[in-house]
Amino acid sequence: MADTATHPPTHVYPAGARERQGLRAGVVSRTTAMVIDIAYVAVLIGAAYLGYCAFRFLRNPRAFTWPVISSTQFITAALIVAAIALAIGWAGIGRTAGMRIMGLRIVGRSGTTLGFTIALLRAITCVVFPIGLFWSAVSKRNASVHDLIFRTSVIYDWQARVPRTKRS
């Protein structure tokens, strides 16, 4: 995980990066961010599983056995964790872990950070229909299906600080 907090406030951009700040991001950057988010969610699920095991062990160590989770349960848990993680990230700082690494940020239709409800709904949509992301490759405004539904935009924003004041 990159620690973007080490970035200086006035970012020193490489050649060609400054001009593209604030523009809508393309499919490659967003897909890369999504892959990172998937890995991030997997780590969260694994941590949750280990936490659950530790809880069971502490409660009855002698009777401890590794809990067996079915695929349905795993997928369900993964989706739930992913949706929550995405919603918290988007509503909190406007970006998930993957988006932070790739220098992306999601904004509403007025350019502000999403509200939690919109963020959660959009996160559920993304988790259920992740392939809708690839529409951004075709869209004239680099908009995915989720963007079209919730009128959001994912932009290049390497700045670590997120303007919070402009909430519509």
Partner 1 sequence: MMGAMDRIPIGGTPPDPDDGEHDNVVRLPSVQASDGVVGIPVESHQVDDAAVDDEPEMSWEEAVAADAEADVPEDPPPVVPGAGMATLLEQGMRVGAGMVSAGASAVADALRSTMPESADEEGEDPAATMAGAGLGAAITAAEAAAAAAKSAAEAVGPIMSWVTNPAALQGASETAAGAARLLDGQWKATQAETAQAATAFLTVLIPEITTAILDQIDLTQIVKERVDINAIVEDVDMDRIVDRLDIAAIVDRVDVNAVVQRVDMGQIVEDLPIEKVVDRVDVNEIVERVDIRGVIDRLDLAEITQDVMDDIDLPSIIRESSGAMASETVQTVRVRGMDADGLVSKIVDRMLRREQRQLEAPGEPKDD
Cα–Cα distance, 110 to 83 (Å, whole number): 23
- Tell the smallest beta-carbon distance from residue 104 to partner 1 (Å): 9
Cα–Cα distance, 70 to 76 (Å, whole number): 10
Residue 35 is a binding residue for partner 1 (CB under 8 A): no
Q: Which is nearer to partner 1, 9 or 14 (CB)?
A: 14
Interface characters, 98-127, with partner 1 (x: CB under 8 A)? ---xxx---xxxxx----------------
Angstrom CA distances, 146 to 36, 58, 118, 137, stand at: 18, 42, 11, 13
Residues 53-92 that bind partner 1 (CB under 8 A): none
- The 10 Å CB-count burial string (b at 16+, else e) for 22-35 is eebbebebbbbbbe
Cα–Cα distance, 30 to 82 (Å, whole number): 16
Residue 166 is a binding residue for partner 1 (CB under 8 A): yes
Residue 41 is a binding residue for partner 1 (CB under 8 A): no
Residue 162 is a binding residue for partner 1 (CB under 8 A): no
Cα–Cα distance, 143 to 163 (Å, whole number): 22
Cβ-proximal residues to 13 (8 Å cutoff; 6+ apart), any chain: 21, 158
Residue 6 is a binding residue for partner 1 (CB under 8 A): yes
Q: Which stretch in 48-56, 79-87, 97-105, 125-133 sits in contact with partner 1 by CB under 8 A?
A: 97-105
* Residues within the interface to partner 1 (CB under 8 A): 2-4, 6-7, 14, 16-17, 20, 22-29, 32, 101-103, 107-111, 137-138, 140-142, 153, 155-156, 158, 163, 166, 168
